[in-house]
């Protein structure tokens, strides 16, 4: 009797532990299927395809480094790299400055949800909607911006010309994303204890001085995180280009992602497109590593 | 940093009431700066919202009216024909007379497709991610932390990289141009959704779970009758965010859907735009279509603004 009562709970515990394993694996099964089929397998498949020639119809043939050699010599590819970088610099620069301004204004002026919601509104519409809306507002002939510009200066501006297409697309995407970025920075600002500002005020520091001496140093790690997160997103610009300019005029706005798309689905050269995707992946991986370094450096700086 | 003594550190609530009092009183040097700051804030809000008004104003105008008075703040020759054209309620002759392309368009259909796809993605992703999050946070099994690390690692895989192989896979599954094909890659999970829910599940007190199990409930039962209802708030927040993301997605549906049978609103809008003649596009119709595509998410946002806005701080710190 006494032995069985001693053994029973043990057996029960062991059975429960075994049940957990079975149940645990059952519960992650659907998610694991998704992970393997749509993250891990494509990753392997994409790298493999980059060493092949593949057009969807016939089986892929292994061509070694041919795609990469072609990439290095492809002027359109390098043009796409330059155009993408131009986009990233304008988009990130403008967006970060504006988002920082909005976040600080929100923190120092009002914590109102209404204000925060208004700033976020463009983020709720798709890139396609944003592109359509600005195509109309910036239209050469009937768009309201050029109507006003013409009455003021006498001449219209072609916002989608070869020299302005990328800056225009960058600004359109700033309009859509700046509220989201501002809210991320705002969340970071909220973590700075208000006592620090009150102390600053007691010491007679101006708002400007408090921004540079308190806000910026304490915000640095979060700012670095936000900056690099938005940068990874902005390297993958596609929707706005696809709707607004289709890469044109000529190649003026043919960003990397659009060139990859065009190569795969316009010319069915999946191997070459995959090689370029690997190139982009390496750039993004480098940025991610940089993020690790920068945020970690920021943390030690704080303590 | 200047160390703060307790006496000079009032609570933040006191501080903010003090600040509002200062801003209302006609007082000192702060006022000019505050006025400038508010001006900047109002300008930013106008920059945010005016484009939406301009779309509405254009959609309600006639194409002839737009050409005659391009800067009028109010709709010119106000009518609903732009919307009628977009929703397929105008005959081809009427559409052509109003400046439309005459191509058949029926946004009701794409609206329905978008609802089907976004619902499939949201229900699947949130439910399966909740199951995985429960397993990662509440169940004990060997190798759990390693598997979770692999899930988190998938956060790093950029979408451009998965798009081409995923297309090949969906094609091999013969799911091109089907709702399932459009929904599949995000239907099972996203690493972020799993992580988001795990954070909340971990905070549910273990005592509640143990009490339920003493009452004879199985772990499966605990998940359905205890964990899911208790995490209603984060689950619905995630569902709203997922729905919006799925609704606004463009690149993947563009690759996968070729015909009306699976085409979603974002793609339909882009197609509608590409059909518009380069000379004298149907701006009234295009802007009506833009509004039709944007309105459902704007309404959803109005209903859940506070929840969405407050969750963004959390999503950022991932």
Q: Which residue of B has its CA nearest to A206?
A: B30
pLDDT in tens, A243-296: 999 988 989 999 999 999 999 999 999 999 999 999 998 888 888 888 777 766
CB within 8 Å of chain A, chain B residues 195-214: none
CB within 8 Å of chain B, chain A residues 157-216: 175, 179-180, 183-184, 186-188, 190, 194-196, 198-200, 202-203, 207
Mean pLDDT value of segment A223-239: 88
CATH class of the domain defined by A76-246: mainly alpha
Kindly list the domain boundaries of chain B, sorted by start residue.
34-103+276-313, 107-263
* Window from A72-76, A273-277, B37-41, B155-159 with minimum mean pLDDT: B155-159
Token pair belonging to B94: 């009427």
Q: For B107-263, which CATH superfamily applies?
A: MetI-like (1.10.3720.10)
- A141 three-class SS: coil
The model carries a pTM of: 0.85
pLDDT at B62: 85
Nearest residue, CB atoms, A144 vs list B71, B249, B306 = B71
Nearest residue, CB atoms, B66 vs list A133, A142, A278 = A142
Is the Cβ of B146 closer than 8 Å to some Cβ of chain A? Answer: no
Is the Cβ of A55 closer than 8 Å to some Cβ of chain B? Answer: no
User: Are B263 and B242 within 8 A, CB to CB?
Assistant: no
User: Are A185 and A223 within 8 A, CB to CB?
Assistant: yes
Does B283 contact A136 at a Cβ distance shorter than 8 Å? yes
Question: How many Å lie between the alpha carbon of B93 and the closest alpha carbon of chain A?
Answer: 25
pLDDT at B249: 94
pLDDT at B12: 42
Residues of B in contact with A270 (CB under 8 A): 164, 168
DSSP string, B200-269: HHTTS-HHHHHHHHHTT--HHHHIIIIIHHHTHHHHHHHHHHHHHHHHH--HHHHHH--STTT--HHHHH
In percent, how much of chain B has pLDDT > 70? 88
Is the Cβ of A288 closer than 8 Å to some Cβ of chain B? Answer: yes
The span from the CA of A181 to the CA of B72, in Å, is 33
pLDDT in tens, A233-249: 899 999 999 999 998 89
Is the Cβ of A117 closer than 8 Å to some Cβ of chain B? Answer: yes
Does B52 contact A133 at a Cβ distance shorter than 8 Å? yes
Residues facing residue A62 across a β-bridge: A52
Is the Cβ of A264 closer than 8 Å to some Cβ of chain B? Answer: yes
Question: How many Å lie between the alpha carbon of A41 and the closest alpha carbon of chain B?
Answer: 8
**For residues B218-245, b (16+ Cβ closer than 10 Å) or e, as one string?**
ebeebbeebbbebbeebbebbbbbbbbb
Kindly list the domain boundaries of chain A, sorted by start residue.
76-246
Residues of A in contact with B49 (CB under 8 A): 118, 121
Does B135 contact A23 at a Cβ distance shorter than 8 Å? yes
Q: Please, what is the average pLDDT of chain B? A: 83
Residues of A in contact with B134 (CB under 8 A): 27
Residue found by looking up tokens 């992946």 in the block: A281
Question: Measured at the alpha carbon of residue B148, what is the angle toward residues B145 and B149, in degrees to the nearest 5?
Answer: 85
């Amino acid at each position: 009797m006494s032995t069985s009562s001693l053994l029973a709970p043990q057996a029960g515990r062991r059975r429960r532990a075994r049940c957990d394993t079975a149940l645990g694996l059952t519960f992650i099964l659907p998610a694991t299927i998704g992970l393997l089929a749509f993250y891990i397998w494509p990753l392997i498949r994409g790298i493999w395809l980059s060493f092949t020639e593949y057009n969807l119809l016939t089986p892929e043939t292994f061509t070694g480094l041919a795609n990469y050699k072609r990439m290095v010599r492809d002027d359109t590819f390098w043009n796409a790299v330059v155009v993408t970088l131009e986009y990233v610099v304008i988009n990130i620069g403008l967006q970060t400055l504006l988002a920082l301004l909005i976040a600080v204004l929100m923190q120092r002026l009002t914590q109102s949800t209404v204000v925060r919601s208004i700033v976020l509104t463009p983020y709720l519409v798709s890139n396609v909607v944003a592109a359509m809306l600005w195509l109309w507002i910036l239209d050469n002939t009937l768009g309201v911006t050029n109507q006003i510009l013409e009455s003021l200066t006498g001449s219209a501006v072609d916002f989608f010309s070869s020299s302005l297409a990328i800056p225009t697309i960058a600004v359109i995407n700033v309009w859509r994303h700046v509220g989201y970025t501002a809210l991320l920075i705002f969340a970071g600002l909220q973590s700075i204890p208000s006592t620090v500002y009150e102390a600053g005020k007691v010491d007679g520091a101006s708002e400007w001085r408090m921004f540079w001496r308190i806000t910026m140093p304490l915000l640095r790690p979060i700012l670095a995180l936000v900056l690099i997160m938005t940068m990874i997103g902005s390297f993958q610009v596609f929707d706005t280009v696809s709707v607004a300019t289709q890469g044109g005029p000529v190649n003026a706005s043919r960003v990397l992602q659009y060139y990859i798309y065009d190569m795969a689905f316009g010319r069915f050269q999946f191997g070459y497109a995959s090689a370029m995707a690997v190139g982009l992946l390496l750039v993004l991986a480098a940025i991610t590593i940089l993020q690790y370094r920068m945020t970690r450096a920021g943390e030690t700086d704080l303590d | 940093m200047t160390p703060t003594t307790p006496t000079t550190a009032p609570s933040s609530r006191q501080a903010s009431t003090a600040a509002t009092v200062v801003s209302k009183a006609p007082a000192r040097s702060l006022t000019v700066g505050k006025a400038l700051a508010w001006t900047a804030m109002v300008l930013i809000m106008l920059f945010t919202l005016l484009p939406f008004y301009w779309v509405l104003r254009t959609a309600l105008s006639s194409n002839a009216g737009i050409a005659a008075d391009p800067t009028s703040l109010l709709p010119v020759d106000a009518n609903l024909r732009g919307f009628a054209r977009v929703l397929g309620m105008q005959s081809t002759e009427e559409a052509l007379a109003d400046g439309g392309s005459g191509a058949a368009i029926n946004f009701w259909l794409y609206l329905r497709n978008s609802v089907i796809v976004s619902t499939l993605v949201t229900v699947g992703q949130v439910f399966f991610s909740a199951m995985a999050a429960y397993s990662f946070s509440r169940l004990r099994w060997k190798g759990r932390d390693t598997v979770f690390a692999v899930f988190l690692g998938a956060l790093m895989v950029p979408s451009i990289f998965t798009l081409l192989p995923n297309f090949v896979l969906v094609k091999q599954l013969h799911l091109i141009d089907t709702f399932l094909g459009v929904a599949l890659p995000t239907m099972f999970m996203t690493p972020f959704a799993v992580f988001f829910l795990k954070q909340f599940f971990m905070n549910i007190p273990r005592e509640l779970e143990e009490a339920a199990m003493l009452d004879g409930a199985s772990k499966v039962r605990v998940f359905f009758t205890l964990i899911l209802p208790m995490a209603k708030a984060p689950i619905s927040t995630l569902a709203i965010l997922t729905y919006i993301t799925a609704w606004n997605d463009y690149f993947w549906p563009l690759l996968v859907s070729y015909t009306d049978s699976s085409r979603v609103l974002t793609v339909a809008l882009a197609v509608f735009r590409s059909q518009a003649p380069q000379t004298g596009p149907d701006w009234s119709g295009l802007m009506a279509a833009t509004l039709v595509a944007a309105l459902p998410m704007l309404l959803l946002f109005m209903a859940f603004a506070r929840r969405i806005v407050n969750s963004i701080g959390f999503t950022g710190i991932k």
